[in-house]
Structure 1
Amino acid sequence: MRTVLPLATITAASMLTMDLYLPAVPTMQLDLGITVAQGQLTIAIFLLGLAASQLVWGELLHRIGPRRCVQTGLLALILTSFGCALAPDLTMLLGLRLVQGIAAGAATVVVPTVVRATLPEQDGVRGIAAIAMIEAIVPAAGPVLGTALLLIADWRTTFAIIGVIALASAPFALRATPVALPSQGDADGDEGGGEGGRVGYRALLRNWHFVGLALAHALSFGALITFVASAPQVLPALANTGQSGFALAQGCGVAGFIVAASQAGRISNRLGPRHAIQLGALLHGLLCTALLAAWWADRLSYPWLLAFWTAFCAVLGIRGPTAFSEALSEPTAQLGRASALMVLALLAVGALATQATAPFLPGGQLGAVALSMSLLCWASCALVARYPDKQASVRARQRPEQEQARL
């Protein structure tokens, strides 16, 4: 807990730069006299900076160390947050939001890397699950708090509060972040890098164990984002729930995820990481197929949808931390790069899946969402169905060496 909780605070501060700010966009547009499209650009440019920075932070982590990465990221996050609060026009705000997105990327790379590198395997799964629970709570609570804040303050105060939170969390996060990652070899005793001692992104992309897990996890995350991004458009028409229907669905999904994630380490330890991931992928495919079948048969009701979404998020709460921890079972010299590639894959697949589904929403409604989620989840299931067991691969490589040693 001394490692996870302080690091979780910088993760929360980084996420608030998006979730606490979202409700303030309309008031910001009125204050600066800009259009809706220009207001939305402040969101898009932040996400661009976040995505583009992943590979950079992954490389810097191994060159300057995790603590200096956190120092740099937090300093930039603090300065840009207060800068956004004082921005006189849209041009200045856009530039600051771009740098703010780059600064927020430090937490997404450094935090899971430090947790995975400094904790034993089972505790690593628990630690990543705890971070994931924070990441689930902030998107649910952030917009609510941001809306309440606008009752007593303006949009500039939102950014000032983010800066204060980042500043207050800095001493605790820096104390919990090591100067350098611990020197620990992987299962086959190679401390220096990937296969054959190679390091770098190219070596990771040649590692099927990592690539298969990263793509499979990104596809399941893409299914999640497809539902979240589409639900405000399609749920109001279901049983006349209005926008409150989306809010309730989000609450149920977050609750299911948190409850399940709290048990992810225990379940992974009992079933084994490989089987826990495979079971989660299979359950995701079956759940989405059931959603599609219910829509096709015109039997889809709002209570049934709530049950589906709660179950889907609960399965992700078990599968997600286990998959992330398993994918990061790389040599220490590659951990930061592996984490960066994982997050970049999540962001890219989520964006592509959302955009691919959007044109079909007006006609297909929930059917288009259910079909997209089913395709993504079954593709994810296919990737992990026979993905290599890393420990078995290590034993296979070691066997000829052991036989040669005996001879």
Structure 2
Amino acid sequence: MSNGSIRTILPLATITAASMLTMDLYLPAVPAMQRDLGITVAQGQLTIAIFLLGLAASQLVWGEMLHRIGPRRCVQTGLLVLILTSFGCALAPDLTMLLGLRLVQGIAAGAATVVVPTVVRATLPEQDGVRGIAAIAMIEAIVPAAGPVLGTALLLIADWRTTFAIIGVIALVTAPFALRATPLALPGTEEEAGRVGYRALLRNWHFVGLALAHSLSFGALIAFVASAPQVLPAIAGTGQSGFALAQVCGVAGFIVAASQAGRISSRLGPRHAIQLGALLHGLLCTALCIAWWSASLSFPLVLGFWAAFCAVLGVRGPTAFSEALAVPQAQLGRASAVMVLALLAAGAVATQATAPFLPTGQLGAVALTMTVLSWASYALVARYPVKQASVRQTAG
């Protein structure tokens, strides 16, 4: 990867991390916040849900604004609001104020999820773009694993309000570097009447097919992550430490594989890398189902499965995201927004679809959900979506 590409990717990765910390660094502080404000557990959980609502709702807005005001102004606006709301949350006197600030904070955090992959894909050479998106994905894997640990350690010396203050400081420090790395405008984004907008984007089968396939694989990932704290302790026989160990194995597998995503995609070709990844996911999940129903499932086997699943996603995910963004330059921001929104929706649906069966089905219900989602994802890419002829013409 060239030095110029690194100078673009690293600052953008920092604002991605800052945006994610608004969720992951805060999670351990929720019980302390509940006690301090004198609220119930349900009300405390609402501060998480309303942040996610703002994050999801903002995706299409940021996707449109990126092309209207440019990526740098989007990042500038998002970071400014993120900084103000973070310090505001640290000073919030009651739940009502905190909920309002968390909603706006979620909207602000959405700027990074849309702008960062768009800038990486639009401004870097193709293979550096895959590596860049892989680097961002590694940050997105590390922060959910490390954030709660750091947040827990922070509570030993400070209160929950300090958590938000630190997030504000991190965003403030990283802002100048991120703004310097973000272009004023994306190259070649002159819009042509009748060829841009979300309606035109959703008529592009190459984009829609890859976006749906990637979202289904992400839904399978979230189905396991969301259910693991409920089902792994019984299998591991070690309490919640079994879930923590599974997370370490999964994150490690993902990071190792994602670091090689650009090289593997270059050697196999993006099409074959995505197809092979989807096939391996289907086979891995099917094997997990068979092991469960044959009563031969053990905790080491689950750890091996999870590390392998995440490793495959570490190669397939960045390649699929980059390939899905092979749309006209004037559509890049919208495409990135739709991709992230689809990922969030797939994760939410998969979690809720699995939840009712956990008390009785345990890991079998999770394995079956993952298997269905993985094979559906493979079906979408088995006949690789053909790029529309107009994509490259319009981009030019």
Please indicate the TM-score interval, normalised by the length of the shorter structure: over 0.9
Provide the rounded CA distance (Å) in 2 between the counterparts of 1:183 and 1:341: 20
1:183 is paired with a residue of what secondary structure? coil
Verify: 1:116 aligned to 2:121, yes or no.
yes
| Aligned counterpart, 1:188 | none
Verify: 1:173 aligned to 2:167, yes or no.
no
Q: How does 1:20-59 map to 2 (within 5 A)?
A: 20-59=25-64
Verify: 1:272 aligned to 2:269, yes or no.
yes
Which of 353, 376, 379 is the equivalent residue of 2:376?
379
| Aligned counterpart, 2:208 | 211
| Aligned counterpart, 2:3 | none
Deviations 1:196-216 (A, max 9, x none): 961000011111110000000
Q: How does 1:11-160 map to 2 (within 5 A)?
A: 11-160=16-165
Which of 382, 385, 394 is the equivalent residue of 2:389?
394
Verify: 1:314 aligned to 2:319, yes or no.
no
Pick closer, same or farther for the CA change 1:394–1:116 going to 2, 3 Å.
Answer: same
Verify: 1:352 aligned to 2:349, yes or no.
yes
Provide the rounded CA distance (Å) in 1 between the counterparts of 2:136 and 2:392: 34
Deviations 1:316-370 (A, max 9, x none): 0000000000000111100000000000000001001100100000000000000
Deviations 1:74-107 (A, max 9, x none): 0000000000000000000000000000000000
Provide the rounded CA distance (Å) in 2 between the counterparts of 1:45 and 1:90: 12
Identity over aligned residues, as a percent? 88
Q: Contact conserved, 1:126 with 1:262, CA < 8 A, in 2?
A: yes
Provide the rounded CA distance (Å) in 2 between the counterparts of 1:82 and 1:128: 30
Verify: 1:324 aligned to 2:321, yes or no.
yes
Deviations 1:171-197 (A, max 9, x none): 00000000000127xxxxxx646xx96
Provide the rounded CA distance (Å) in 2 between the counterparts of 1:241 and 1:118: 48
Deviations 1:208-249 (A, max 9, x none): 110000000000000000000000000010031210000000
Q: Contact conserved, 1:280 with 1:315, CA < 8 A, in 2?
A: yes
Provide the rounded CA distance (Å) in 2 between the counterparts of 1:272 and 1:192: 30
Shift of 1:394: 3.3
Structure 2: tracts of 5 or more residues without a match: 1-5
Structure 1: tracts of 5 or more residues without a match: 185-190, 399-407
TM-score (norm 2): 0.96
Provide the rounded CA distance (Å) in 1 between the counterparts of 2:203 and 2:115: 23
1:178 is paired with a residue of what secondary structure? coil
Deviations 1:58-78 (A, max 9, x none): 000000000000000000000
Shift of 1:395: 10
| Aligned counterpart, 2:293 | 296
2:236 is paired with a residue of what secondary structure? coil
1:241 is paired with a residue of what secondary structure? coil
Provide the rounded CA distance (Å) in 2 between the counterparts of 1:232 and 1:245: 8
Shift of 1:265: 0.4
1:269 is paired with a residue of what secondary structure? helix
Which of 238, 241, 244 is the equivalent residue of 1:244?
241
Deviations 1:8-30 (A, max 9, x none): 00000000000000000000000
Q: Contact conserved, 1:3 with 1:176, CA < 8 A, in 2?
A: yes
Pick closer, same or farther for the CA change 1:384–1:151 going to 2, 3 Å.
Answer: same
The residue identity in structure 2 corresponding to 1:361 is: L
TM-score (norm 1): 0.94
The residue identity in structure 2 corresponding to 1:11 is: T
Count of aligned positions: 388
